[in-house]
Structure 1
Amino acid sequence: MRNVWKFPALVRGIAPKSGEERHCLVAGSAEFEVREVDISRMQLAFKADRHEFSFPVEYRMLDGVLYKNEDDYESFDMDLSGGDLMAYGYSVVYQRVADEIVELMKSGTIAPWPKDAHLKRERGARDLETSGVVMLPGGQSDLETWRAKFKQALDRIVISDTKVWTRAAEPVYCVGKPNGFDAVHLYIEDASIFSEPRTEWGSKQSATSAWGGAYRVFSVADHDAALRCLNEMAVERGLRAEELDTIEIVMPEAVSTDIDRLEMDRLARVCAVHASQAFTKVKPGGGETILEVAPSTLVTRWIELRDLLRTYSPIDGIPEDLETRFTSFIEETDDFAEVYGPVLISKTLRDAVSYSFDRWDNRLIDVAATGRFAAA
């Protein structure tokens, strides 16, 4: 299916009226093709009932790649005719590109036009031809960069059986207590939670945030373990246990992700973020910050871990030395907790690390599974 699509872009230009040089939010247009395939080529791998969808969600394999059905063609047709370029609502077409543009506008590294564009997404992106923006040298290159990003977003989509299908990572079980709920939930996410900064809805990813220790992730082939974790966590916290989603595995060979190894990586990332925030806080009793009283070896291990995690995407593969770097950092934080209590790595997060260590049967190094804390 070939059509002319509008796409959002930030281009270097002179903003109208003010005459200032800015990164201007505009809409370009170009011809793109979205692949259409016969449903007989897409073998059913999983079928899930997910609480956030009003319809059964199918995962199908096409040319070795997993796709998930989003809905019927109607919403996609609205995007095509449309208008929600900055994904003020939810859009499988524009969401990824629009979020990247918003993050860039919010970063402070550029001077955007309009100045409040990241706060007023519903205003969308103005057509380049009628916006009054005069592109500076490099503006055309900017336009081509965002055109390529938009093409990558469309390349994740196929049309089949009057439905829209988007490329997906393997579905996984997630157990945790979302903010604002008085229950522990078991629900289905997909393995993109290990690498994507945002969920498919565009909200910030909780599983890899500073509070990611409140979550546990399991393969969909490990339903019993996920259910056991759900019930144990609910009893521990005195809350209800709710199994929100169910899934049928039609193609067992499609379950292949090493969740335990990814969980080790995820907890390492959570610890690195959590520690960076904790270092800025004042130590118990007042006075210096935690960073100022932390041993140099602890700070060094934290920096080494943080820098390693920046060098790769866990979905593409995890370096063998992650285990030694992470273990060394945890040993240092345990020693620090002997004196100051769990001020650098919270007890909830340390328990999650222990849980991850215990699950990884192939671990090369043995470290005390239970943290040693001077304070609760």
Structure 2
Amino acid sequence: IFSMNLSIQQINSSSVYQYVWSWIINNDFYLEFGYLIDPLTSIMSILITTVGILVLIYSDNYMSHDHGYLRFFAYMSFFSTSMLGLVTSSNLIQIYIFWEFVGMCSYLLIGFWFTRPVAAKACQKAFVTNRVGDFGLLLGILGFYCITGSFDFRDLFQILNNLISNNEVNFVFVTLCAFLLFAGAIAKSAQFPLHVWLPDAMEGPTPISALIHAATMVAAGIFLVARLMPLFIVIPHIMNLISLIGIITVFFGATLALAQKDIKRGLAYSTMSQLGYMMLALGMGSYRSALFHLITHAYSKALLFLGSGSVIHSMETLVGYCPKKSQNMVLMGGLTKHVPITKNSFFFGTLSLCGIPPLACFWSKDEILNDSW
């Protein structure tokens, strides 16, 4: 309700609100904590809360027979809270703190069934891969603090623009720091070459896959690039790199998705490909179309993941509890007559993701293609 009210206010006024509390450590160094409310924050907050509440409602029945029912909801709530803290952050230090919380929650959720060796390895793989990007993000934050002396977004952008326009800064060092910031987004949004954790993240319960792939973890990388767009846009080499990584990821993810038999892994590689579209749009400076596609993809992909959970449960009544069989699309022929509602919702979600008019993803993909010319 709060996020919807926030979005309505932003639509009506488009004003920016920032509240900051200073924590003075000594005369030369202080930290600021607060929140920043702007159009980007309102878009992300309504996305996280709406997808999050739908996933939680779905999870109530899905996880009702699991011994870790209460633990599951504790992790999910902390995950959503961390993501909301990330999108409302007013400076880079605050973003980094919540960025780590999101990574920690993903580790706990992917390894939710930690007694299964495959799930234990998958959560470790996600954790280690994301630490590579997180280390780059931390170095980039410290590098820009050395250049500008500020963690606050508005001060950082203004000081950096002045330094670059007056040629008072080492441009190679600025480019390196910007690349390190982008490395954090590459890992979190599963872009090539740090995409390897994403398919294995499917070892967690299906509602977790829906939340990670639609509104929280992978969206964090897109949000970071969007938030730092005024910084990246003055460094042409980084913008070109963002576009290049996006293009490679689009084709790489789509090709791998075609070769999958596991329904959840196929959707995971599809997510990777769609995130490549968003990175491509951001690299071209097409900020609005990237966020538009983030929204349309989030709802379509959440629908598909929740639908896949229903399909997997239906398969388990036929083949028993065996992920290799219950998630194998080759064995799912003739299932539609048993799950007609799931069939229809899955069908429309697939059409949307394919960009078939007049469904949502058609308009966002069309906008990205239009801006690319």
- Structure with higher Rg: it is 1
Give the structure-2-normalised TM-score: 0.25
Greater strand share, structure number: 1
Give the structure-1-normalised TM-score: 0.24
Greater helix share, structure number: 2
